[in-house]
Amino acid sequence: MADADTADPQAMARRMLDGLQESNPQLAILAQLMQARTIVPEPVSEGLSDEVMRLADQLAAAEARIDAMKRQARKLVALHREADDRLADLAAALGACGLCWGEDDFCPSCRGRGRPGMVRPDFELRARLLGPARPREGSADQTTTH
Ligand SMILES: [Zn+2]
């Protein structure tokens, strides 16, 4: 056996395949397919490979930042909805417009007239949010006189 033959792995593989084709043709086909798979990806030049690795790292970092921003955005949307609901409850408890609190002349609900007390407050909600109504000091029970 020549030394050049044993030193070259591709020549060795070819010789083994030749032998296999005689003894077991089906296995030879499988071996050919496997060899083809390992040969197909052409080696990238060193400089290009470094550049590809650098870009892949940048892409992964950017994707991680995007995921973090998406999580933050979902959290902010949830918090905004919570605050919105709480404000709407408070507006109802105070008899104010839940959309604009009387600050928007073009409000579709109140046309800017929805300041607190403009409509009958939701007393149940009011008691839950602000505690039970108490009469003012030095006057008769005003909650019952109105
Ligand atoms: Zn309004």
Distance from Cα 87 to the centre of ligand 1, integer Å:
13
- One pLDDT digit (tens) per residue for the chain, 146 residues: 445 455 787 787 778 778 888 888 888 887 777 777 666 556 667 778 888 999 999 999 999 999 999 999 999 999 999 999 999 999 999 999 999 999 999 999 999 999 999 999 999 999 999 888 777 766 554 444 44
Query: pTM for the whole thing?
Result: 0.50
> What's the gap in Å between 52 CA and the centre of ligand 1?
57
* Ligand 1 center from residue 51 Cα (angstroms): 58
Q: Which residue, chain included where needed, has tokens 């084709």?
A: 21
Report yes or no: 115 and 101 within 8 Å, Cβ to Cβ. Answer: yes
Q: Decide if 91 contacts 70 (C-beta within 8 A).
A: no
Helices (H) and strands (E) in the chain, counts: 6, 0
Rounded to the nearest angstrom, the distance between the alpha carbon of 82 and the centre of ligand 1 is 20
- For the chain, the structural domain boundaries read 1-37, 79-131
